[in-house]
Structure 1
Amino acid sequence: MTANFQLLRILPEVILTIAGVLIMLIEPLLGHSTSRKPLGWFAVLSVFASLAASFAQLGMAAGTAYYGVIQTDAFSVFFHVLIALIVLVSLLVTIDTANANTESLGELFALMVFGAVGMMLMTSATELLLVFIGLEISSISTYIMAGFRRKNVKSTESSLKYFLLGSFATAFFLYGIALIFGATGTTDINAIASQLGTSAVPMFATIGLGMILIGLGFKVSAAPFHVWTPDAYEGAPSPVVGLMSTAPKAAAFAVLLRIVYVAFPALHAHWQPLLWLMAAFSMTIGNLGALRQQNVKRMLAYSSIAHAGYLLVAFTALSTDGIAAASFYAMSYAAMNVGIFAVVSHASGYDERLSLISDYRGLAYRSPLLGGALGFFLISLIGIPFTGGFFGKFYVFASALHSGMVWLTIIGLVNSGIAAFYYLRLLASAYSKPTNNALLDPMPRASFALLLALVITISGTLILGIVPGQILAMSHNAAVSLTSGIANPAPSATHQ
């Protein structure tokens, strides 16, 4: 394979890397009073170019590059597109929210782009060491973005907690890789499956897989590895929270799918019960924790823990339909969650004037656009029909039920009912007329960047809820491409 053809398999990452480097080089040359927002628009254009490159990869035959450590197929392209869309909306929200002369704003744009590079590498890597490198690129960028408002004490605390606990989880992930290498003699995901399929499974391989699950469990904020999430979300800037609550999770879930279904199908009897428990705990702890919150971002943090649980339900299905349901749910959750943080970011501003649920009282009167968008995303998070949230949960629970996961499905349905309470509480506040007339002052006018972000997220949530056929076909093709190389797929599930 020629070098140029191999380069096409990592072209989206190359485009974003070049864009990030250029932003970092240009930003110091600008005067203190010069707006950094044009750098944000340059980043937006680079993400559009990366999206085009990702779609172009669909026309290529599935294959590997660079000695087999990168694989381009329908699965990797699906998550490349998802990550690029999340970063695109996050950039638009940042452009809308941040002041034109915000200190080091160009660095924030560059960090978002560099983070996307790491996440994309994770989704296409078939070598555990490359997964680790991509994970570190993504994580380091996110740690810095979480503490970007350096003069804000909560932001600094958020970044420090996220960094310390994230480093601890990364150590588990890396040590798990070391144990797997000791047990199988390789860190190649496909080769691991071959090694485990021809001999008795070494104990070190099982322990190594458990450690990898701990590391990735932290990245997706699944219980009991979720303790960092509320504090990190509360302190980080809202546009960054919209990004870190979706894109890194999508990448980590893609890695988890590739590891458990491709590298360790022979160990399904070990990892399926663990994921079952993680899913049940995440849904329950997330929703019960959200019930107690008055701070909107902390409420949405616990909500994200619960949604990680819903997505893990699909993992336990042990079928192509389960993989497709997980991929579809990742996209629907990203659309509605990034959308709701776009509303929160604009309503509260860069300094986040609105933090409590009561602060959003009368939002619909002050801005019908923001109130309507907030209500729409909330009913999608609840799972009302004709929204992406409804079909996402429907396909997840259906795949689990068809695989015999009756009790897990019941737990999920009960938790969905609990979640409706705290989502409706915020919705009721937004549509309640405030007693203080001063709170009826109109919101700042929506910028073009915000309008574009809302168009993308609202359209995506509607399409996923009304005409999901095309996205379902893409997610099914992604699942088939992931499992097509598995020689001994896991048998049907019987654990309930």
Structure 2
Amino acid sequence: MISIPSNDFFAVSPLLIVILTAMIVLMVDLALPRDRKGLLVGISLIGLVAAVFASAALWGRGLNAFAGSVAADNFAILFQFILLIVAGLSVLLSERYIQLKGINYGEYYALMLFSTSGAMLMATSRELITIFVGLEVLSIALYILAGFARTEARSEESAMKYFLLGAFSSGFFLYGIALLYGGTGTTRLDLMAQVPGGLQSVYSIAGMALLLVGLGFKAAIVPFHSWTPDVYEGAPTSVTAFMSAGAKAGAFAALIRVAIAFLPVSHYFHDVLWALAILTMIVGNIIAVQQTNIKRMLAYSSIAHAGYILVGLIAQNEVGRAGIIFYVLSYTFMNLGAFGILILLARRGDELTQIQDLEGLSERQPAAAALMAIFMLSLAGIPPTAGFIGKFFLFSGAIQAHEYWLASIGLLASVVGVFYYLWIIVRMYFKPARREFPTGIWNNSPGASIAVGFCALLSILLGLVPSTFYNPSLSGAQSLIAPVAPIAAPAIPVAKAEGPQVSANVR
């Protein structure tokens, strides 16, 4: 009988708590009438808070579990914190919105929790098959959530596009795993670089490219971004908010672990990432400028932000990696907050879809306009917001790594991005109102109001006192140790008299 050490379960306890909470939500939902679904919000939040405490208990322990497939290091714990925050804020934003949309079903919250658990597994995994399992759990739940508004053709269309393209990207990822296993004889990321010449073989290079396709799809990296604007526009806004932050955080957590293994020993991987970063920053910002639909604009904006995060990844130093963690958290607050304002201003059968719909918002809803301005300024990277500090860390890492061209292009792309963010502020404050806005939005949606206020507060605080999270981010970056490929082949283990020794996973 195979016995699993208790430490293994302890290392994945936050993940298990989230899964258990999702199952409890499904069971409780069976006994609740449709007008009492608010109880599920409380259950979901209690489970997420419990998972936060479980993650905090793992800080600094550096546990490895399940034969090294899972690492509960500080890096994983920080990303778990971020993902749990994303899930909690998304649950709060969803309560009243899904009632207005007529999709107030218990499965909604359960699917959001299952998707969160998949992203958490991706953040803790350092073995490719385990990452793939997390990717699929994340993706399948999101496919369903994207089409949750079944009476709306756009929602159904976005779900179908997301599913079909996602299925192809998953196939590429799985085939990449097979090729890397053929080239190195292992699926463990920390062991691949220890195989002499393993990552320089044709099989491995092709496998790395296919892995990048799968993860690039989830992170919305150009040219794997085509699904993003259509899905963001068609999915319910609360789902779009969750998807924009949660899926990106999970994908980049996995991509960082992959890059830690591949970048030091493969210049091909570095060159490809370099080109993708430039394409992603330029394409995302230039197309975002041309958008009139606000959700499509935020979609292309998220693509551009993926390019900024790649800059920190290419730097291959602690400043860049810590900057990624800091920036992902900052992006979570400013992006969820922006979508939260759209949710607060939504009415039954009437949502703000066009940028011009925000004109005159400062006259009718001055508090909402002020909060939206904070989020736009942070997304633009204007000091002293969190977005500015996050970009500062990312580009500082690139400069320290002598990636001057990459940092320069990133700065120029950021300047382009400032235009469309400030244009929204101009419309809110200097244009007459074109439409009526709902009244009593703060009292009607207390959960969403709390979430939006929290996002605005953190978007400012992280800019004013960045050390409160940057220092833990630096600790998380330091917990990632890049494996160095040995020059000589490792010694072949010799069986001793008292029992054989087996070199696992490496051939």
Q: Mark yes or no: TM-score above 0.5.
A: yes
| In structure 2, distance between residues paired with 1:390 and 1:107 | 38
The structure-2 alpha-carbon separation of the partners of 1:101 and 1:30, relative to structure 1 and needing over 3 Å to count, comes to farther
Q: Which amino acid aligns with 1:431?
A: Y
TM-score by length of 2: 0.91
Q: Is the Cα–Cα contact under 8 Å of residues 311 and 398 in structure 2 kept in the other structure?
A: yes
| In structure 2, distance between residues paired with 1:15 and 1:102 | 29
The structure-2 alpha-carbon separation of the partners of 1:263 and 1:287, relative to structure 1 and needing over 3 Å to count, comes to closer
Q: Is the Cα–Cα contact under 8 Å of residues 284 and 415 in structure 1 kept in the other structure?
A: yes
SS of the equivalent of 1:260 reads: helix
SS of the equivalent of 2:23 reads: helix
Q: State yes or no: 1:53 paired with 2:54.
A: yes
The residue that corresponds to 2:230 in the other structure is 231
After superposing the two structures, state which structure 1 stretch, 105-114 or 360-369, moved more. 360-369
The residue that corresponds to 1:19 in the other structure is 21
Give aligned pairs, total. Answer: 483
Listed as ranges, the matches of 1:327-476 within 5 Å are 327-349=325-347, 351-432=349-430, 434=432, 439=436, 442=439, 444-446=441-443, 447-476=445-474
The residue that corresponds to 1:494 in the other structure is none
| In structure 1, distance between residues paired with 2:347 and 2:47 | 26
The residue that corresponds to 1:41 in the other structure is 42
CA drift of 1:264 comes to 5.2
Listed as ranges, the matches of 1:239-388 within 5 Å are 239-263=238-262, 265-267=264-266, 269-349=267-347, 351-388=349-386
Q: Give deviations 1:67-93, integer Å, cap 9, x for gaps.
A: 221111101001000100011101100
CA drift of 1:440 comes to 6.1
The structure-2 alpha-carbon separation of the partners of 1:289 and 1:205, relative to structure 1 and needing over 3 Å to count, comes to same
Q: Give deviations 1:268-316, integer Å, cap 9, x for gaps.
A: x111111111111111111111111110000000000100011111111
CA drift of 1:368 comes to 2.0
| In structure 2, distance between residues paired with 1:227 and 1:101 | 26
Q: Give deviations 1:321-351, integer Å, cap 9, x for gaps.
A: 2211112111111111111111111112464
The residue that corresponds to 1:220 in the other structure is 219
Q: Is the Cα–Cα contact under 8 Å of residues 73 and 478 in structure 1 kept in the other structure?
A: yes
Q: Is the Cα–Cα contact under 8 Å of residues 146 and 155 in structure 1 kept in the other structure?
A: yes
The residue that corresponds to 2:495 in the other structure is none
Q: State yes or no: 1:122 paired with 2:128.
A: no
| In structure 1, distance between residues paired with 2:113 and 2:406 | 37
The structure-2 alpha-carbon separation of the partners of 1:90 and 1:352, relative to structure 1 and needing over 3 Å to count, comes to farther
Q: State yes or no: 1:174 paired with 2:171.
A: no
| In structure 2, distance between residues paired with 1:441 and 1:166 | 37
SS of the equivalent of 1:348 reads: coil
Q: Is the Cα–Cα contact under 8 Å of residues 362 and 439 in structure 1 kept in the other structure?
A: no
Q: Give deviations 1:224-247, integer Å, cap 9, x for gaps.
A: 111100000000111111111111
SS of the equivalent of 2:315 reads: coil
| In structure 1, distance between residues paired with 2:291 and 2:91 | 28
Q: Is the Cα–Cα contact under 8 Å of residues 434 and 440 in structure 1 kept in the other structure?
A: no
| In structure 2, distance between residues paired with 1:90 and 1:177 | 32
Superposed CA RMSD:
1.9
| In structure 1, distance between residues paired with 2:437 and 2:173 | 50
SS of the equivalent of 1:64 reads: strand
| In structure 2, distance between residues paired with 1:350 and 1:342 | 16
SS of the equivalent of 1:71 reads: strand
CA drift of 1:470 comes to 2.4
Q: Which amino acid aligns with 1:382?
A: A
Unpaired segments ≥5 residues, structure 1: 490-496
Q: Is the Cα–Cα contact under 8 Å of residues 36 and 101 in structure 1 kept in the other structure?
A: no
